[in-house]
Amino acid sequence: MATAHKNLSTYQKEEIPNAKDFKFGVVVSEWNPTITQNLFQGAFDAFIENGALKENIVRWNVPGSFELVYAAKKMRESFDMLDAIVVVGVVIQGETKHFDFVCQGVTQGVMDLNINGDIPVIFCVLTDNHIQQSIDRSGGKHGNKGTEAAIAAIKMAQLKKDAK
């Protein structure tokens, strides 16, 4: 237990653990596909840059963000050796309440997966007022949230390993 605590304290630093022994799943929503592809690419590149092997990254696509939770659950059951899963989506505010329900559903669903499962599920869903905000955060002037999500996944995979 003492060792685990010592290791866990390192997550407060900026260091990113080496990902060479980790396996990752990424579930990608097909709504706003150019943006979700850019987010996926940002995540994929970050995994590789931090040592992960291409063959240890599994990608599944789903129709929309609302389906991300179900697919992450099935992915977790299908590949119990995964160290972390990232869900990638883009929800853009429209004229109806659909935005609120999709955002609420996927956020709560990811939270439930994290509470009830043993594989960390990382939230990479942009919830924007308009498409320019999404462009800016998927490789534009505000960086790439896919990159940040992959780094979070690597850190959580290491935490999972150390906490066992």
Contact flag: residue 94 with ligand DLZ (CB under 6 A): yes
Contact flag: residue 66 with ligand DLZ (CB under 6 A): yes
Look at residues 42, 60, 29, 27 and name the one whose alpha carbon lies nearest to residue 138: 42
Give kind and range of the element (H or E) at residue 14: none
Contact flag: residue 74 with ligand DLZ (CB under 6 A): no
98 tagged catalytic: yes
Q: Which stretch binds ligand DLZ (CB under 6 A): 48-56, 57-65, 129-137, 145-153?
A: 57-65
Candidates 5, 98, 130, 142; catalytic one:
98
Structure token digits, residue 151: 């780094």
Contact flag: residue 83 with ligand DLZ (CB under 6 A): no
Q: Which of 17, 25, 42, 89 binds ligand DLZ (CB under 6 A)?
A: 89
> Of 19 and 43, which has the nearer Cβ to ligand DLZ?
43
The reply, when asked if residue 67 is annotated as ligand binding, is: yes
Contact flag: residue 142 with ligand DLZ (CB under 6 A): no
| Backbone torsions φ then ψ of 112, nearest 5 degrees | -60, -40
State the Cα–Cα distance between residues 83 and 140, nearest whole angstrom: 29
Look at residues 146, 153, 82, 72 and name the one whose alpha carbon lies nearest to residue 109: 72
Task: Give the 3-state secondary structure of 100-152.
Answer: HHHHHHHHHHHHHHHHHCCCCEEEEEEEECCHHHHHHCEEECCEEHHHHHHHH
Q: Which stretch binds ligand DLZ (CB under 6 A): 50-58, 76-84, 94-102, 145-153?
A: 94-102
Look at residues 66, 49, 53, 50 and name the one whose alpha carbon lies nearest to residue 155: 50
Shortest Å, Cβ 41 to ligand DLZ: 18
Q: Which residues bind ligand DLZ (CB under 6 A)?
A: 29, 31, 63-67, 89-92, 94, 98, 102
Q: Which residues are annotated as a binding site for 5-amino-6-(D-ribitylamino)uracil?
A: 31, 65-67, 90-92, 123
Catalytic positions are 98
